Chain A
Amino acid sequence: MARVLLNLPRSAAKGAVIEIRTLIMHPMESGFRPGMNGSILPRDIITRFRCSYNGEEVFRAELSPAIAANPFISFTTVATESGTLSFTWEGDNDFRQTETRDIAVT
Protein backbone atom coordinates (compact mmCIF):
# COMPACT_ATOMS: atom_id res chain seq x y z
CA MET A 1 0.00 0.00 0.00
CA ALA A 2 1.29 3.39 -0.94
CA ARG A 3 1.45 6.03 1.77
CA VAL A 4 -1.27 8.65 1.46
CA LEU A 5 -1.62 12.03 3.17
CA LEU A 6 -5.11 13.50 3.16
CA ASN A 7 -5.79 16.94 4.52
CA LEU A 8 -9.42 17.94 4.98
CA PRO A 9 -11.50 19.09 7.92
CA ARG A 10 -13.23 16.46 10.09
CA SER A 11 -16.22 18.74 10.48
CA ALA A 12 -17.72 21.64 8.60
CA ALA A 13 -20.78 23.88 8.54
CA LYS A 14 -23.45 22.85 6.04
CA GLY A 15 -22.84 24.62 2.75
CA ALA A 16 -19.21 25.52 3.51
CA VAL A 17 -16.64 25.03 0.76
CA ILE A 18 -13.89 22.77 2.10
CA GLU A 19 -10.42 22.36 0.67
CA ILE A 20 -9.06 18.85 0.18
CA ARG A 21 -5.33 18.29 -0.29
CA THR A 22 -3.93 14.90 -1.23
CA LEU A 23 -0.43 13.43 -1.53
CA ILE A 24 0.35 9.82 -2.46
CA MET A 25 3.74 8.11 -2.59
CA HIS A 26 4.30 7.02 -6.20
CA PRO A 27 7.34 7.27 -8.53
CA MET A 28 5.33 8.47 -11.56
CA GLU A 29 7.95 6.86 -13.81
CA SER A 30 7.33 8.80 -16.99
CA GLY A 31 8.17 6.17 -19.58
CA PHE A 32 10.61 8.59 -21.22
CA ARG A 33 13.58 8.19 -18.91
CA PRO A 34 16.61 5.98 -19.60
CA GLY A 35 17.61 3.66 -16.76
CA MET A 36 21.10 2.63 -15.66
CA ASN A 37 21.65 0.34 -18.65
CA GLY A 38 20.50 2.98 -21.15
CA SER A 39 17.18 1.43 -22.09
CA ILE A 40 13.97 3.35 -21.40
CA LEU A 41 12.30 2.54 -18.07
CA PRO A 42 8.73 1.41 -18.69
CA ARG A 43 5.97 3.84 -17.81
CA ASP A 44 4.48 3.43 -14.34
CA ILE A 45 2.16 6.29 -13.43
CA ILE A 46 -1.12 7.01 -11.73
CA THR A 47 -3.60 7.73 -14.52
CA ARG A 48 -6.82 8.50 -12.64
CA PHE A 49 -7.92 10.05 -9.38
CA ARG A 50 -11.49 10.21 -8.10
CA CYS A 51 -13.26 11.61 -5.07
CA SER A 52 -16.81 10.56 -4.11
CA TYR A 53 -18.98 12.05 -1.40
CA ASN A 54 -21.44 9.55 0.05
CA GLY A 55 -21.13 7.53 -3.13
CA GLU A 56 -21.56 10.39 -5.58
CA GLU A 57 -18.54 11.47 -7.62
CA VAL A 58 -17.64 15.11 -6.94
CA PHE A 59 -14.18 15.36 -8.52
CA ARG A 60 -12.08 13.38 -10.97
CA ALA A 61 -8.77 13.92 -12.71
CA GLU A 62 -6.80 12.28 -15.51
CA LEU A 63 -3.06 12.40 -14.86
CA SER A 64 -0.19 12.24 -17.37
CA PRO A 65 3.56 11.60 -17.01
CA ALA A 66 3.91 15.39 -16.56
CA ILE A 67 2.58 15.12 -13.01
CA ALA A 68 5.44 15.12 -10.48
CA ALA A 69 6.45 12.05 -8.48
CA ASN A 70 4.43 11.64 -5.28
CA PRO A 71 1.40 13.35 -6.85
CA PHE A 72 -0.18 16.30 -5.07
CA ILE A 73 -3.76 17.20 -5.99
CA SER A 74 -5.83 19.84 -4.25
CA PHE A 75 -9.47 20.79 -4.94
CA THR A 76 -12.63 21.88 -3.16
CA THR A 77 -16.09 20.52 -2.43
CA VAL A 78 -19.23 21.77 -0.68
CA ALA A 79 -19.95 20.15 2.70
CA THR A 80 -23.50 18.97 1.98
CA GLU A 81 -24.16 16.32 4.63
CA SER A 82 -22.38 14.15 7.15
CA GLY A 83 -20.88 10.99 5.74
CA THR A 84 -17.84 9.58 4.01
CA LEU A 85 -15.53 10.90 1.36
CA SER A 86 -13.69 8.28 -0.60
CA PHE A 87 -10.54 8.82 -2.65
CA THR A 88 -9.30 6.40 -5.31
CA TRP A 89 -6.06 6.45 -7.27
CA GLU A 90 -5.66 4.09 -10.24
CA GLY A 91 -2.79 3.57 -12.62
CA ASP A 92 -0.41 1.40 -14.60
CA ASN A 93 0.41 -2.13 -13.45
CA ASP A 94 -3.02 -2.49 -11.85
CA PHE A 95 -2.28 0.18 -9.28
CA ARG A 96 -5.40 0.89 -7.28
CA GLN A 97 -5.82 2.37 -3.85
CA THR A 98 -8.80 3.75 -1.96
CA GLU A 99 -8.84 5.76 1.25
CA THR A 100 -11.85 7.11 3.10
CA ARG A 101 -12.44 9.94 5.56
CA ASP A 102 -15.56 10.73 7.56
CA ILE A 103 -16.90 14.23 7.82
CA ALA A 104 -19.45 15.64 10.27
CA VAL A 105 -21.60 18.40 8.78
CA THR A 106 -23.64 20.58 11.11
Chain B
Amino acid sequence: MRWLLLLLGMAAAQPRSGTQDMSRELQAMQADDSANPGMLWMQEGEALFQRREGLAGKACADCHASLAGVAARYPAWDPATAAPIDLAGRIQQCRAERQQAAPLPRESEPLLALTVFVARQSRGMALAPPADPRLAPARARGEALFRQRRGQLNLSCAQCHEERAGLRLGSALIPEGHANGYPQYRLEWQALGSLQRRLRNCMVGVRATAPAYGAAEYLELELFLAQRGAGLPVEAPAVRP
Protein backbone atom coordinates (compact mmCIF):
# COMPACT_ATOMS: atom_id res chain seq x y z
CA MET B 1 0.00 0.00 0.00
CA ARG B 2 2.72 2.44 0.97
CA TRP B 3 4.49 1.55 -2.27
CA LEU B 4 1.40 2.11 -4.32
CA LEU B 5 0.83 5.53 -2.77
CA LEU B 6 4.42 6.39 -3.36
CA LEU B 7 4.15 5.34 -6.98
CA LEU B 8 0.96 7.35 -7.44
CA GLY B 9 2.64 10.34 -5.87
CA MET B 10 5.54 10.04 -8.26
CA ALA B 11 3.23 9.71 -11.23
CA ALA B 12 1.46 12.92 -10.25
CA ALA B 13 4.77 14.75 -10.13
CA GLN B 14 5.58 13.79 -13.72
CA PRO B 15 4.38 16.28 -16.29
CA ARG B 16 1.56 14.98 -18.48
CA SER B 17 1.64 15.75 -22.21
CA GLY B 18 -1.48 17.20 -23.81
CA THR B 19 -1.42 14.18 -26.12
CA GLN B 20 -2.62 12.02 -23.24
CA ASP B 21 -5.68 14.23 -22.84
CA MET B 22 -6.81 13.69 -26.45
CA SER B 23 -9.09 11.04 -27.90
CA ARG B 24 -7.54 7.83 -29.21
CA GLU B 25 -8.36 9.02 -32.74
CA LEU B 26 -6.48 12.32 -32.45
CA GLN B 27 -3.55 10.54 -30.84
CA ALA B 28 -3.50 8.21 -33.84
CA MET B 29 -3.65 11.15 -36.27
CA GLN B 30 -0.70 12.79 -34.51
CA ALA B 31 1.36 9.60 -34.57
CA ASP B 32 0.65 8.79 -38.23
CA ASP B 33 2.95 10.77 -40.53
CA SER B 34 0.69 10.02 -43.49
CA ALA B 35 -2.40 11.52 -41.80
CA ASN B 36 -0.94 14.29 -39.58
CA PRO B 37 -1.56 17.49 -41.61
CA GLY B 38 1.41 19.14 -39.87
CA MET B 39 3.61 16.94 -42.04
CA LEU B 40 2.71 19.13 -45.04
CA TRP B 41 4.60 22.00 -43.40
CA MET B 42 7.38 19.68 -42.37
CA GLN B 43 7.85 18.67 -46.01
CA GLU B 44 7.84 22.33 -47.06
CA GLY B 45 10.49 23.02 -44.42
CA GLU B 46 12.65 20.21 -45.71
CA ALA B 47 12.57 21.75 -49.19
CA LEU B 48 13.34 25.24 -47.84
CA PHE B 49 16.25 23.86 -45.83
CA GLN B 50 17.88 22.69 -49.07
CA ARG B 51 17.30 25.93 -50.98
CA ARG B 52 20.00 28.57 -51.52
CA GLU B 53 18.83 31.94 -50.26
CA GLY B 54 20.11 35.49 -49.81
CA LEU B 55 23.29 37.35 -50.68
CA ALA B 56 25.46 34.63 -49.12
CA GLY B 57 24.03 32.18 -51.62
CA LYS B 58 23.91 29.46 -49.00
CA ALA B 59 21.30 26.92 -48.02
CA CYS B 60 20.74 25.91 -44.40
CA ALA B 61 21.89 22.47 -45.52
CA ASP B 62 25.28 23.87 -46.62
CA CYS B 63 26.11 24.58 -42.98
CA HIS B 64 23.95 22.09 -41.07
CA ALA B 65 23.64 18.34 -41.40
CA SER B 66 21.57 17.01 -38.52
CA LEU B 67 19.94 19.34 -36.01
CA ALA B 68 18.65 16.46 -33.89
CA GLY B 69 18.34 17.35 -30.23
CA VAL B 70 18.46 21.10 -30.81
CA ALA B 71 14.74 21.79 -30.33
CA ALA B 72 14.79 19.93 -26.99
CA ARG B 73 17.13 22.53 -25.44
CA TYR B 74 15.50 25.76 -26.64
CA PRO B 75 14.91 28.55 -25.64
CA ALA B 76 18.63 29.00 -25.08
CA TRP B 77 20.99 31.86 -24.27
CA ASP B 78 22.13 33.90 -27.27
CA PRO B 79 25.52 35.46 -26.51
CA ALA B 80 25.33 37.74 -29.57
CA THR B 81 22.27 39.61 -28.27
CA ALA B 82 22.86 38.75 -24.60
CA ALA B 83 19.25 37.58 -24.37
CA PRO B 84 17.26 34.35 -24.49
CA ILE B 85 16.29 33.13 -27.96
CA ASP B 86 13.78 30.49 -29.03
CA LEU B 87 14.11 28.08 -31.93
CA ALA B 88 12.19 30.26 -34.38
CA GLY B 89 14.30 33.25 -33.31
CA ARG B 90 17.48 31.27 -33.92
CA ILE B 91 16.33 30.32 -37.40
CA GLN B 92 15.42 33.95 -38.13
CA GLN B 93 18.90 34.89 -37.02
CA CYS B 94 20.66 32.36 -39.27
CA ARG B 95 18.47 33.46 -42.14
CA ALA B 96 19.30 37.16 -41.69
CA GLU B 97 22.97 36.94 -40.72
CA ARG B 98 24.32 33.77 -42.27
CA GLN B 99 22.23 33.62 -45.42
CA GLN B 100 21.85 37.41 -45.60
CA ALA B 101 18.32 36.88 -46.86
CA ALA B 102 15.13 38.90 -46.35
CA PRO B 103 13.87 38.35 -42.79
CA LEU B 104 11.12 35.81 -42.20
CA PRO B 105 8.46 37.32 -39.92
CA ARG B 106 7.17 35.39 -36.91
CA GLU B 107 4.27 33.09 -37.77
CA SER B 108 5.02 33.34 -41.51
CA GLU B 109 4.54 30.08 -43.38
CA PRO B 110 8.22 29.63 -44.33
CA LEU B 111 9.39 30.25 -40.75
CA LEU B 112 6.83 27.77 -39.36
CA ALA B 113 7.88 25.24 -42.00
CA LEU B 114 11.59 25.57 -41.22
CA THR B 115 10.92 25.48 -37.48
CA VAL B 116 8.85 22.31 -37.65
CA PHE B 117 11.44 20.69 -39.89
CA VAL B 118 14.13 21.40 -37.30
CA ALA B 119 11.90 20.57 -34.30
CA ARG B 120 10.81 17.23 -35.71
CA GLN B 121 14.42 16.06 -35.74
CA SER B 122 14.15 16.00 -31.95
CA ARG B 123 10.90 14.05 -31.90
CA GLY B 124 10.83 11.64 -28.99
CA MET B 125 13.77 13.30 -27.22
CA ALA B 126 13.17 14.66 -23.72
CA LEU B 127 12.81 18.41 -23.22
CA ALA B 128 16.13 19.36 -21.62
CA PRO B 129 16.16 23.08 -20.80
CA PRO B 130 19.73 24.37 -20.42
CA ALA B 131 20.98 25.04 -16.91
CA ASP B 132 22.76 28.21 -18.11
CA PRO B 133 22.52 30.64 -15.14
CA ARG B 134 22.17 33.59 -17.53
CA LEU B 135 18.68 32.26 -18.37
CA ALA B 136 17.57 32.19 -14.74
CA PRO B 137 16.28 35.78 -14.38
CA ALA B 138 14.14 35.57 -17.54
CA ARG B 139 12.84 32.12 -16.54
CA ALA B 140 11.89 33.51 -13.12
CA ARG B 141 10.03 36.38 -14.81
CA GLY B 142 8.28 33.71 -16.90
CA GLU B 143 7.13 31.92 -13.79
CA ALA B 144 5.86 35.19 -12.31
CA LEU B 145 3.92 35.83 -15.53
CA PHE B 146 2.50 32.31 -15.31
CA ARG B 147 1.18 33.00 -11.83
CA GLN B 148 -0.01 36.54 -12.48
CA ARG B 149 -3.75 37.06 -12.92
CA ARG B 150 -4.70 38.77 -16.16
CA GLY B 151 -7.58 39.85 -18.35
CA GLN B 152 -11.22 40.62 -17.67
CA LEU B 153 -11.63 37.09 -16.29
CA ASN B 154 -8.77 37.81 -13.89
CA LEU B 155 -7.25 34.35 -14.19
CA SER B 156 -3.62 33.26 -14.18
CA CYS B 157 -2.18 30.52 -16.35
CA ALA B 158 -1.53 28.54 -13.15
CA GLN B 159 -5.16 28.75 -12.07
CA CYS B 160 -6.14 26.80 -15.16
CA HIS B 161 -3.09 24.68 -15.92
CA GLU B 162 -2.10 23.75 -12.37
CA GLU B 163 -5.17 24.08 -10.19
CA ARG B 164 -7.75 23.01 -12.76
CA ALA B 165 -5.76 20.69 -15.02
CA GLY B 166 -7.87 17.63 -15.82
CA LEU B 167 -11.13 19.53 -15.26
CA ARG B 168 -13.33 20.98 -17.97
CA LEU B 169 -13.72 24.51 -19.23
CA GLY B 170 -17.08 24.42 -20.98
CA SER B 171 -16.69 21.13 -22.78
CA ALA B 172 -12.92 21.37 -23.33
CA LEU B 173 -10.56 19.49 -21.07
CA ILE B 174 -7.97 21.74 -19.44
CA PRO B 175 -4.54 20.20 -20.08
CA GLU B 176 -1.44 20.89 -18.02
CA GLY B 177 -0.47 23.31 -20.78
CA HIS B 178 2.92 22.02 -21.88
CA ALA B 179 5.08 23.28 -24.74
CA ASN B 180 6.46 20.00 -26.10
CA GLY B 181 4.43 19.81 -29.33
CA TYR B 182 5.30 23.01 -31.21
CA PRO B 183 4.94 24.07 -33.94
CA GLN B 184 1.65 22.22 -33.86
CA TYR B 185 -1.34 21.52 -36.09
CA ARG B 186 -4.26 22.87 -34.12
CA LEU B 187 -7.62 21.77 -35.53
CA GLU B 188 -9.09 25.08 -34.37
CA TRP B 189 -6.62 26.90 -36.65
CA GLN B 190 -6.83 24.34 -39.46
CA ALA B 191 -3.16 25.13 -39.86
CA LEU B 192 0.26 24.87 -38.26
CA GLY B 193 1.03 27.48 -35.61
CA SER B 194 3.69 28.36 -33.05
CA LEU B 195 3.70 28.19 -29.27
CA GLN B 196 3.39 31.99 -29.24
CA ARG B 197 0.18 31.73 -31.23
CA ARG B 198 -1.13 29.21 -28.71
CA LEU B 199 -0.18 31.52 -25.83
CA ARG B 200 -1.98 34.41 -27.52
CA ASN B 201 -5.11 32.23 -27.70
CA CYS B 202 -4.96 31.59 -23.95
CA MET B 203 -4.47 35.31 -23.28
CA VAL B 204 -7.36 36.32 -25.54
CA GLY B 205 -9.38 33.57 -23.85
CA VAL B 206 -9.26 35.43 -20.53
CA ARG B 207 -9.86 38.73 -22.38
CA ALA B 208 -6.36 40.04 -21.82
CA THR B 209 -4.45 41.94 -24.48
CA ALA B 210 -1.79 39.73 -25.99
CA PRO B 211 1.59 41.30 -26.79
CA ALA B 212 2.86 41.27 -30.38
CA TYR B 213 4.69 38.18 -31.63
CA GLY B 214 8.32 38.05 -30.56
CA ALA B 215 7.74 40.11 -27.36
CA ALA B 216 10.01 39.38 -24.39
CA GLU B 217 7.00 38.23 -22.36
CA TYR B 218 6.52 35.22 -24.67
CA LEU B 219 10.21 34.30 -24.47
CA GLU B 220 10.01 34.39 -20.68
CA LEU B 221 6.90 32.22 -20.62
CA GLU B 222 8.50 29.81 -23.12
CA LEU B 223 11.54 29.49 -20.86
CA PHE B 224 9.39 28.68 -17.85
CA LEU B 225 7.19 26.27 -19.82
CA ALA B 226 10.26 24.36 -21.02
CA GLN B 227 11.42 24.00 -17.41
CA ARG B 228 7.98 22.94 -16.25
CA GLY B 229 7.72 20.31 -18.97
CA ALA B 230 11.31 19.05 -18.65
CA GLY B 231 11.47 15.37 -19.50
CA LEU B 232 8.43 15.33 -21.79
CA PRO B 233 9.14 14.05 -25.29
CA VAL B 234 9.28 16.54 -28.17
CA GLU B 235 6.15 15.81 -30.25
CA ALA B 236 6.37 18.38 -33.06
CA PRO B 237 4.26 18.57 -35.08
CA ALA B 238 1.68 17.67 -32.44
CA VAL B 239 -2.03 17.66 -33.25
CA ARG B 240 -4.34 19.41 -30.78
CA PRO B 241 -8.03 20.31 -30.84
Decide if A70 touches B40 in the complex (CB within 8 Å): yes
Contact of A27 among B34, B35, B41, B190 (CB under 8 A): B190
Q: Could you list 23 examples of A-B contacts with CB < 8 Å?
A: A3-B40, A3-B41, A3-B43, A3-B44, A4-B40, A5-B34, A5-B39, A5-B43, A21-B34, A21-B35, A23-B35, A23-B37, A24-B40, A25-B40, A25-B44, A27-B190, A68-B190, A69-B190, A69-B191, A70-B40, A72-B35, A74-B34, A74-B35
Majority DSSP secondary structure for residues of B touching A: mixed
**Nearest Cβ in chain B — how far from A5, in angstroms?**
6
In the complex, per-residue mask of B218-238: 1 if CB is within 8 Å of any chain A CB, else 0: 000000000000000000000
**Nearest Cβ in chain B — how far from A70, in angstroms?**
4
Count A-side interface residues using an 8 Å CB cutoff: 14
List residues of A (4-51) whose CB comes within 8 Å of B's CBs.
4-5, 7, 21, 23-25, 27
Cα–Cα distance between A70 and B43 once the two chains are bound (Å): 14
Count B-side interface residues using an 8 Å CB cutoff: 11
Please indicate which of the listed interface residues B33, B34, B35 has the most CB atoms of chain A within 10 Å of its own CB. Answer: B34
> Which 6 A-B pairs have CB atoms at the shortest separation, nearest pair first?
A7-B34, A69-B190, A21-B34, A70-B37, A3-B40, A25-B40
**Nearest Cβ in chain A — how far from B45, in angstroms?**
10
List residues of B (37-69) whose CB comes within 8 Å of A's CBs.
37, 39-41, 43-44
Residues of A within 8 A of B44 (CB): 3, 25
